[in-house]
Amino acid sequence: MSLQEHVERSPYGQAVISGLIAFVLVAIAAWNLPASHLQTIASNAVRPIVNGVGLDQAWGVFAPNPRQDSIGLVARIRYADGSVAYWTPPTQGRYVEPYRSYRWWKWVEEISPDRSQPFWQPAALWVARQHRAADPTSVTLIRRWRDNLPPGQKGHTSWHQYEFFTLDVTPGMLR
Amino acid sequence: MTPRGRDLAAGWHRFWFAPVDTSTLGVLRIVTGLVVFGWTLSLAPDLSAFFGPHGILPRTPQPAWTFSLLGASPSMTLVVALYCLLLVGSLCLAAGFGTRIAAVAVWLLLMSFDRRNALILNAGDDLLRVDAFYLMLAPAGAALSVDRWLRHRDRFWEFPQRAPWAVRLIQIQLSAMYLFAVWAKVRGTDWNDGTAVSYAMRVGDLTRFPAPHFLTDNLTVVNLLTYGTLALEISLALLVWNRRLRPWLLLAGIAMHLSIEFGILVGFFSIAVIASYVAWVSPEAMTRVLLGARQRLRRGRPVKIPATVLPLPQPAERPRHAASRSLH
């Protein structure tokens, strides 16, 4: 009989496992309650263990409302010779590629809002490094979006775009 | 203890600890290991961009009480080393080879990569990590594993009975996932006015195959799909505990997740959910299915007869072309 089997069969072992089960059930509830005073108290109480073992979770997929717009990100790279190139995240393909590209879409969704300012400089620098062979001098991040019309009205607005961050690149940054 | 207290304690014990076949756990381990392997493979092209010291997130803001073997800003050597470990660990988990160590490694490494860059995660990644935690606590190598084959080769097709508490936690986790998903949805406006599915299917950056217009623009159809999704999700949270309804609800759930998978870029979410549904298959049914499949496979296989009892073919019975070949 294995050690685990021995523990699972003994009354003391079952008591310990029951405690663990009870904790997990409370943790799941505490983590998922709607934002409230109770949720704050409960989630703070279980946070050290929940974060420590990776039980933190969020199941609000397309909730409370699905996004009503389509978004995109373009980086404009200017080179020392005056030429310009555009970079978009690797998000093409419909079959195998989506199992890779969903992460890039998630990243675009996460870094586009104004609250994500700390992530803009590293993103622009990473794009510059991808083009270091051509001697880039600046990278501008451009947010693109279009609004989807309510169902029945067929379609969406035209694309809008907004340049939200520019990084002036020096050779030292590309090392 | 009062009689009611005794009943409650007995019910708790029966639910979590009454031993059951480990057939369901074995299949759950295999499919989870394979999904994690696929998840890990899909990271390969972007390892440096997502996790490297010169990537899109060179330094991770570490939330309190979290940890990652990758640290806040790892070297590429460490990233590649842990990546290879996760590949090997997920395969070992699927095969059931050194199962406990593999399960702990998979949980630890999934969490490490998740914590290193949370900007790229969706609910499917959360579910894989949470499932890995529960699986690590279970005797996942007890059946259908290389470990079992090495220890009890002659009794490989037996499924030793063990306490199912870890699999129960996965069942409850799935119920909770649907329950809280519905809770989050009904707090919005679009799920209440019945238009949410139309918007979800038209988010251009998340569309894999564009939905036909009658699914997104016909208000009656859109309302039916939106309220139907809510109804199915709440049923998957609560009514799935009813044994009679369970198979039908799981089939409907699989259909829903496959249609999401077809139309919307959700990464590993649908695959991870469908893989987790294995936890809902009763151990008796899973044992029956596995032994039935084994029986069918054996029937199709040629029967081994020792060479000494086989009659030697007579020269006249040899095919003509064989004889002519031997003449040259």
Judge whether B209 is closer than 8 Å to chain A, CB to CB.
yes
Contacts of B200 (CB under 8 A, 6+ apart): A62, A66, B206, B264
Share above pLDDT 70 across residues of chain B, in percent, rounded to a whole number: 91
CB contacts of B72 in chain A (<8 Å) are none
Return the exposure string of A106-119: e unless at least 16 CB atoms fall within 10 Å of the residue's CB, then b: bbbbebbeeeeeeb
Long-range contacts of A40-47 (CB under 8 A, 24+ apart): A47/B64, A47/B65
A54-72 pLDDT, tens digit per residue, is 999 999 899 999 999 999 9
pLDDT of residue B67: 87
Question: Does the CB of A14 have a partner CB in chain B at under 8 Å?
Answer: yes
Question: What's the pLDDT tens digit per position in B71-87?
Answer: 877 899 999 999 999 99
The maximal CA–CA distance of chain A, rounded, in angstroms, is 77
* pLDDT score, position B324: 36
Nearest CA in chain A to B38: A99
Helix (H) or strand (E) holding B110: helix B99-116
A103 to chain B, minimum CA–CA distance in Å?
5
What number is the average pLDDT over the span A143-170? 90
For the residues B264-272, what does the mean pLDDT come to? 94
User: What pLDDT score was predicted for residue B318?
Assistant: 44
Q: State whether residue B203 sits within 8 Å of chain A by CB.
A: yes
The pLDDT tens digits of the residues spanning A69-115 come to 999 999 999 999 999 999 999 877 788 899 999 999 999 999 988 99
Residue B208: is its pLDDT beyond 50?
Answer: yes
Q: Are A23 and B168 in contact (CB under 8 A)?
A: no
CB contact under 8 A, B119 and A105: no
Query: From residue B34, how far is each of B7, B220, B268, B290 by CA, in Å?
Result: 40, 40, 12, 18
Question: If residue A138 lies in a helix (H) or strand (E), which one and from where to where?
Answer: strand A136-147
Instruction: Give the nearest chain B residue to A100 (CA atoms).
Output: B42
Q: Tens digit of pLDDT for each residue in A136-150?
A: 999 999 999 999 988
Residue A58 φ then ψ, to 5°? -145, 120
Q: Is B144 in contact with B30 (CB distance < 8 Å)?
A: yes
Residue A45's pLDDT is 94
Give per-residue pLDDT as tens, B9-63.
999 999 999 999 999 999 999 999 999 999 999 999 999 999 999 999 998 877 7
> Is B227 part of the contact surface with chain A (CB cutoff 8 Å)?
no
- The three-state secondary structure class of B100 is helix
pLDDT at B327: 36
Any B CB within 8 A of A55 CB: yes
SS3 B189: coil
- pLDDT grade for B293, boundaries at 50, 70 and 90: very high
Nearest by CB to residue B130, choosing from A57, A71, A118, is A57
The reported pLDDT for the residue numbered B141 is 96
pLDDT recorded at residue B65? 86
Q: How many angstroms away from the CA of A132 is the closest CA of chain B?
A: 13
Q: From the CB of residue B57, how many other CB atoms can be counted at a distance below 10 Å?
A: 25
The mean pLDDT of B171-200, rounded to a whole number, is 96
- Greater confidence (B95 vs A133) lies with B95
Peptide bond into B210 cis (omega under 30): no
Q: Does B296 touch chain A (CB under 8 A)?
A: no
Nearest to B195 among A8, A123, A151 (CB): A151
Contact B126 A58 (CB under 8 A): yes
CB-CB: which of B55, B64, B185 is closest to A64?
Answer: B185
**CB-CB: which of A8, A101, A111 is closest to B17?**
A8
Of B29, B272, B30, nearest in space to B135 by CA: B29
**Could you tell me the pLDDT band of residue B244, with boundaries at 50, 70 and 90?**
very high
